[in-house]
Structure 1
Amino acid sequence: MSRFLRALQSPPPRRLIALVAALVVSSSLNTPAIAQVNLPALGDSVSADVDVGAERKLGDQVMRQIRPDPDFLDDPLLQEYLEATWAPLVASAKQLGNIGEDTVDRFAWETFLVRDRSVNAFALPGGFVGVHLGLIAMTGARDELASVLAHELSHVTQRHIARRIVGDSRTSLLATAGMLLGVLAAAKSGNVGAANAAIVGGQAAAAQLQLNFSRDMEREADRVGFQVMTKAGFRPAGMASMFERMEQAYHLMDTGSYPYLRSHPLTSERIGEARARLGTGEVQSLPNVAEHALLAARARVLMDARAEAWAQLQALDAGARQGQGFEQLAARYASALASIKMRDWARAESAIKTANVLLDMLGPDARARRLLVYLRAELEAARSQPVAGLAALAPLAGERSRPMLLMRAQLALVDTREAQLRESSEALQTHVSLHAQDAGAWSSLGLLWDKLGQPLRAVRAQAEAQAAMGDLNGAIDRMRSGLRQSRGREADQFEAAVIDARLRALLYERRQLLADMYPRGAPPGAELPN
């Protein structure tokens, strides 16, 4: 049975992401076998065959399906760390000329988290890269994570998905998008029959044959990715170390938890080349081992939301079975966070205290200490102790990061003081004015405005959150609801005018998207897929 169909039969929360990860690296779904791919020289463009704009549109269409999915994760601390690792890689690729003028502004260059315990990462058309929490949880250093991101970034910069389409057939990206969206819609509805109907004529077999990038593409992504990560200041040993870590774990326990190695097969040649590259000399960088260990522990807790998984992690308050120092620190962090999820406050507090003592013994580390401060505030917010939570954040006074804004908003929502609600709402309003696509911030802002007794603003924030996730239908519905509420005498007419203007803009955006999807005219009743 193909992975295509197995994905449909996997548990619903994983189904959509599994399909996307499998499908976006395939191209023509009509040919029975993989045609020979003739790779252009490094830096050559395939834009004559596959337009950059069309590739970005395909990526945007896929992301509109992914963002509303329950397994699309916006954890402020992990996302911040992922972006802090990703940003220097993108900057490095620009400096090396891998990101050219044709894609620098037209591709998204965005990375996101997937709540899944499997070890996987994948590149999408248009500059999107997804990372499973299972991958972060198994890495031992930031440089290892950077090596995977650099490899996936290189799949994008080298236009490997577009090359695949060109090499296998002249099927357009928009035709591929139509096929992809049809299967995604069938997957979300749970209608396996509909999915089977979408892949008649041997297309499933063809897709199975075309899941992997070619060997030449993998080697090119390794080579270019290595240059990118070292130019960005990460240690060259990170790539070889990550290869060896995955290979060893894969052979010891192949339970289907390593889909990355199925779509990116490790050969002795690739591992040997990664080791050989270390002869060029290491680029030194700060390892930040404690910070990475804590965030890998956080990923381990969040990647599996089952109570039995959290109960096992709670037991780590006795310490890790093996390892010293950072492993023991990470064990207490995982235990504390799992205890918060299980609402075992006393056990969480005890684990946090032990973690702070261990960090004192390991030596000063401001980044690791910051994560423990947030963990304490997270505990206080969970048990509705906003005053204690704000006091816990005192060591980070002056920080204006996104995690701080969202944590203070979380504390304000369990606070009874109006001043705290107003302070957080004003801070978030400033943030979204600069980052209009931050769905998480809009969602928190909507809750704050609702608690402040501002229903029109709350509805607009909910609509903006839906729009930021790509759910234009949902955003339009909420804006229309707000417009109906604004007809009352006591309604804020200024806010009503804002809602009316945004509704018009969203309707125009939806018309444009429908025009792209149906170049010959949308059929009656056609809407964007939810």
Structure 2
Amino acid sequence: MKDSMIRGRRPGLAALVLALSVAFTPAGPASAQLPSLGDSSDISASTERRIGDRIARELYRDPDYIDDPLLHEYVMSLWQPLLAAARQRGDLNTELDQRFAWQVLLGKDRSINAFALPGGWLGLHLGLVASSGSRDELAAVLAHELSHVTQRHIARLMSREKRQTPWMIGAMILGALAAAKSPEAGKAVMTGGQALAVQNQLNFSREMEREADRVGLGIMSQAGFQPQGFAGMFEKLQQQSRLNDDGAYPYLRTHPLTTERLADMQSRQVLGGRSAAPVDWEHAMMAARARALSAGGTEALRNVLREASSTPADAGDLRQAGVLYAGALAASKLGDHATALRLVDQLGAKVQQQPAAMRASRVLAGEIALAANDRQRIAPWVDEATGSGRPEVLLSARAALRAGQPAQAAQKLQTWVALHPQDGTAWQLLATAHAAQGQPARAVRAEAEAQVAWMDYAAAMDRLRAAQDLARRGSGSDHIEASIIDTRVRQVESLLREQALER
């Protein structure tokens, strides 16, 4: 997978990762071989978590970050069984289990990419979700990235980088001494020394990729996913990206050749046996959703919409459902609400015998109705019990706000955030509901809680101070709310002090 810590489209973030790895990595003894499976690194779990949190704060601010309730829920439905399997196998020890975040952040990027970060944070591009042909293929990617974390690959790489620093300095000193006799000899010694150090680092990374493949395959099999998902994903990388398989200088790659990894996974599946993957309607809906949400710009959305009208009738129900879903969402984003409603109605008729796909279709229909301000279609989401999942709760709250019933929206959201206090999007909606009810102190405190969820503690503190002022100045003050605000001020101040110590 193209899953090094951060890849090229975000140079600022890549620089941050590099800076953090230098700033937090203690010196250690020299080592030339990959540690055996499960060996520890010089980086403590708490330090690795702090590094990951700092990077995650930047990802939350990245314009590509997307909190899509349906897609996030689907990805987590694959992620949680993988975590449970890693625990059962003994790959995930108690310390890492308790200290790490174990969160997956989604990005709208269309590239086929996923990456592991320090501290149990993972990044997943919607392009990879869109290109995956089954939940097994997507689970393979998540299992591979999970294995990078459980095997402490990131911490070990950071330790390795620090260990090599004296080697590279030594090579430069030798080069300076040789230059006194021959400038060309000095240059050759310094260049050769640096090249050897870089080659050792690349070899180290390749072994980690093979280890993540091997451990990840065991985890996903334990979790009940079909192992052919690994080979399927490698085949897609081979066909669509072709970046790891151009045949040039394989000894300079940080990842093993895709063909090597594909052959390895196929041989393991022959030994373990293969079974046919079931037809997966829910995954088809989620891949279609990812395709539409990652379409950048008007022309890309129009291409998605054109596919919905050009797919032949004999393409199969699953294929047709996928293009209808993506087309309806694309039409809605283009402001063509009539087409969006027509396509989503066709989709509903096609998937009515498939419960998971029907649910995805119903949520999409509600989103389109809100975008079109179709009050008749919005009404069921306000008045009826629409389900207890996060997509339904957030959509129902938005429908209640649109219908001019902020108290009903606030009630739904207050119950949700009490159980899920790290849901920044829900807190933001709750802030809107409180403001619509004329409760400014509560609204501003909810805005602060959203910033806490996104780990922007400075912004949270600003909002909490504002909430304190509003609570003091308001007539008939809500003493319970004022007490909550005062408590949260002290807690967020503590978090800010911890951040200052990290810097």
Give the TM-score of the pair, scaled to structure 1.
0.79
The verdict on how the C-alpha distance between 1:72 and 1:207 changes in structure 2, with shifts beyond 3 A counting, is farther
Q: CA deviation at 1:429?
A: 1.0
1:399 has 2:387 as partner: yes
Contact 1:26 1:210 in 2 (8 A): no
- Residue 74 (structure 2) aligns with: 81
Contact 2:382 2:399 in 1 (8 A): no
DSSP-derived class of the 2:119 partner? coil
- Residue 125 (structure 2) aligns with: 132
Which amino acid letter does the alignment assign opposite residue 395 of structure 2? M
Give 2:318's match in structure 1, choosing from 298, 305, 326. 326
Which amino acid letter does the alignment assign opposite residue 408 of structure 1? S
Residues in 1 aligned to 2:259 and 2:45: alpha-carbon distance in whole angstroms: 34
Give the helix-richer structure, 1 or 2. Answer: 2
1:506 has 2:497 as partner: no
Residues in 1 aligned to 2:386 and 2:6: alpha-carbon distance in whole angstroms: 51
DSSP-derived class of the 1:131 partner? strand
Note the alpha carbon deviations across 1:366-419, whole angstroms, 9 max, x for none.
Answer: 00011111111111111223552242699x946211111101111112112x3x
- Residue 480 (structure 2) aligns with: 494
Note the alpha carbon deviations across 1:91-144, whole angstroms, 9 max, x for none.
Answer: 000000000122110111111101111111000011111100000011110100
The one of the two structures with greater contact order (alpha-carbon pairs below 8 A, sep at least 6) is 1
Contact 1:143 1:238 in 2 (8 A): yes
Give 1:368's match in structure 2, choosing from 353, 357, 363. 357
Which amino acid letter does the alignment assign opposite residue 432 of structure 1? V
Which deviates more from structure 2 when the two are superposed, residues 51-60 or residues 301-310?
Answer: 301-310
- Residue 527 (structure 1) aligns with: none
Residues in 2 aligned to 1:216 and 1:5: alpha-carbon distance in whole angstroms: 19
Question: Structure 1 regions of 5+ residues with no counterpart?
Answer: 173-202, 256-261, 518-530
- Residue 55 (structure 2) aligns with: 62
Note the alpha carbon deviations across 1:445-476, whole angstroms, 9 max, x for none.
Answer: 11111111111111000011011101111001
Give 1:484's match in structure 2, choosing from 436, 447, 469. 469
Residues in 2 aligned to 1:25 and 1:486: alpha-carbon distance in whole angstroms: 40
Residues in 1 aligned to 2:140 and 2:350: alpha-carbon distance in whole angstroms: 29
1:339 has 2:331 as partner: yes
- Residue 474 (structure 1) aligns with: 459
1:444 has 2:429 as partner: yes
The verdict on how the C-alpha distance between 1:286 and 1:6 changes in structure 2, with shifts beyond 3 A counting, is closer
- Residue 134 (structure 2) aligns with: 141
Residues in 2 aligned to 1:55 and 1:286: alpha-carbon distance in whole angstroms: 37
Residues in 2 aligned to 1:16 and 1:358: alpha-carbon distance in whole angstroms: 45
Q: CA deviation at 1:19?
A: 5.7
The verdict on how the C-alpha distance between 1:281 and 1:142 changes in structure 2, with shifts beyond 3 A counting, is same
Contact 2:447 2:463 in 1 (8 A): yes
Question: What percent of counterpart residues are identical?
Answer: 42
Residues in 2 aligned to 1:253 and 1:215: alpha-carbon distance in whole angstroms: 12
Which amino acid letter does the alignment assign opposite residue 492 of structure 2? L
Residues in 1 aligned to 2:382 and 2:255: alpha-carbon distance in whole angstroms: 42
- Residue 295 (structure 1) aligns with: 286
Residues in 2 aligned to 1:271 and 1:446: alpha-carbon distance in whole angstroms: 49
Q: CA deviation at 1:502?
A: 1.0
Q: CA deviation at 1:264?
A: 4.1
Correspondences of 1:169-318 after superposition (within 5 Å): 169-170=162-163, 214-251=205-242, 264-282=255-273, 287=278, 289-318=280-309
Contact 1:26 1:212 in 2 (8 A): no
State the aligned residue count: 460
Residues in 2 aligned to 1:348 and 1:254: alpha-carbon distance in whole angstroms: 40
The verdict on how the C-alpha distance between 1:208 and 1:131 changes in structure 2, with shifts beyond 3 A counting, is farther
Note the alpha carbon deviations across 1:324-345, whole angstroms, 9 max, x for none.
Answer: 3212111111110011111211
The verdict on how the C-alpha distance between 1:109 and 1:236 changes in structure 2, with shifts beyond 3 A counting, is same
Which amino acid letter does the alignment assign opposite residue 279 of structure 1? V
- Residue 167 (structure 1) aligns with: 160
1:455 has 2:440 as partner: yes
The verdict on how the C-alpha distance between 1:292 and 1:494 changes in structure 2, with shifts beyond 3 A counting, is same
Contact 1:25 1:210 in 2 (8 A): no
Correspondences of 1:8-87 after superposition (within 5 Å): 23=18, 37-46=32-41, 49-87=42-80
Give 1:381's match in structure 2, choosing from 370, 392, 396. 370
Residues in 2 aligned to 1:405 and 1:4: alpha-carbon distance in whole angstroms: 34
- Residue 107 (structure 1) aligns with: 100
The verdict on how the C-alpha distance between 1:392 and 1:434 changes in structure 2, with shifts beyond 3 A counting, is closer
Residues in 1 aligned to 2:13 and 2:331: alpha-carbon distance in whole angstroms: 28
Question: Structure 2 regions of 5+ residues with no counterpart?
Answer: 166-193, 247-252
DSSP-derived class of the 1:450 partner? helix
| TM-align CA RMSD | 3.3
Which deviates more from structure 2 when the two are superposed, residues 246-255 or residues 219-228?
Answer: 246-255
1:354 has 2:339 as partner: no
Note the alpha carbon deviations across 1:293-345, whole angstroms, 9 max, x for none.
Answer: 11111101111341221122121231436943212111111110011111211
Give the TM-score of the pair, scaled to structure 2.
0.83
The verdict on how the C-alpha distance between 1:291 and 1:489 changes in structure 2, with shifts beyond 3 A counting, is closer
Which amino acid letter does the alignment assign opposite residue 52 of structure 1? A
